[in-house]
Amino acid sequence: RRCRSPGRAIDSGDDFDRALEAIGRPSVLKTRRFGYDGKGQRMIRAEGAIERSAIMAEFGGAPLILEGFVPFEREVSVVAARSADGSFAAFDLCENEHRDHILAVTRVPATGISPETAASAIAIARRIADALDYVGVLAVEMFLVREGESERVVVNEIAPRVHNSGHWTIEGALTSQFAQHVRAVCGWPLGDAARTGGMRVEMHNLIGDEAEGWREILARPGAHLHLYGKGEFRPGRKMGHVTRLIP
């Protein structure tokens, strides 16, 4: 069974027509490189006329991919490390809530997903890391899709690095994703990826002026505040995050 969303590369107007024919609508048009936080992305709706040249002009001639829209129930990610000797350690499955295409909240462990599906998500991430002979921490973003009684995950994106949905590990896991990355690239034994005290964890990104509330956040019991020291607030800019461990 397919475990990634269908996609077609687009480098010309003809490719655009062929991709639309093959993938259908609704679909999502994305730049193939340098996209983040939903930048370089545009929805192609199911209905209405398509202004091909106007749409392509928006992207300024960048190489594109058209992806089929995945009607997902929720979004999850696997953050895991692989070492050169093939050893592998995954953190618990993360559930990610996006607002305006930007990650807003990560909750761990993910809810509303069976233990079998969570295990298969981690197995898929391991297969990807093995296939790439990958060394270090990586994140694999996935959609949870429900079809009648059955559920499965569909891979959306691979981030070959430490990832925002793994920031909770700083306090929430016995080894943080950053320490784990160093262990992996140095060929040291990987650390224990279990959650601290088996607690549930929530990580909230502070986006734009949300970071102005830092004083109030510090007053909340159990809140761990991280500010990134960016010079100015801008709408949609990730300024920091707060992690909360929930007994």
Report the interface residues with Mg ion, using CB under 5 A.
141, 157
Helix, strand, coil shares, percent, the chain, to 5: 25, 35, 35
What does the alpha-carbon distance between residue 188 and residue 181 come to, in Å, rounded to a whole number? 10
- Torsions phi, psi for 119 (to 5 deg): -65, -35
Choose from Mg ion, ligand ATP, none: what does 67 bind? Cβ within 5-8 Å by kind.
ligand ATP
CB of 75 to ligand ATP, least distance (A): 5
3-state secondary structure (DSSP) of residue 44: strand
Nearer to ligand ATP, 42 or 223 (CB): 42
Choose from Mg ion, ligand ATP, none: what does 35 bind? Cβ within 5-8 Å by kind.
ligand ATP
Tell me which residues touch ligand ATP (CB under 6 A): 5, 28, 35-39, 41, 67, 69-70, 75, 98, 101, 141, 156-157
Nearer to ligand ATP, 96 or 117 (CB): 96
CB of 202 to ligand ATP, least distance (A): 18
The residue type at 150:
S
CB of 125 to ligand ATP, least distance (A): 15
The residue type at 236:
G
Buried b (16+ CB within 10 A) or exposed e, 150-165: ebbbbbbebbeebbbb
Nearer to ligand ATP, 37 or 171 (CB): 37
Choose from ligand ATP, Mg ion, none: what does 69 bind? Cβ within 5-8 Å by kind.
ligand ATP
The single residue listed with the structure tokens 């949300």 is 210
CB of 150 to ligand ATP, least distance (A): 19
Choose from Mg ion, ligand ATP, none: what does 70 bind? Cβ within 5-8 Å by kind.
ligand ATP
Which residues share a beta bridge with 207? 238
- Torsions phi, psi for 105 (to 5 deg): -135, 140
CB of 139 to ligand ATP, least distance (A): 9
Nearer to Mg ion, 65 or 179 (CB): 65
Nearer to ligand ATP, 78 or 190 (CB): 78
CB of 39 to ligand ATP, least distance (A): 6
Nearest CA to 25 out of 56, 72, 66, 76 is that of 66
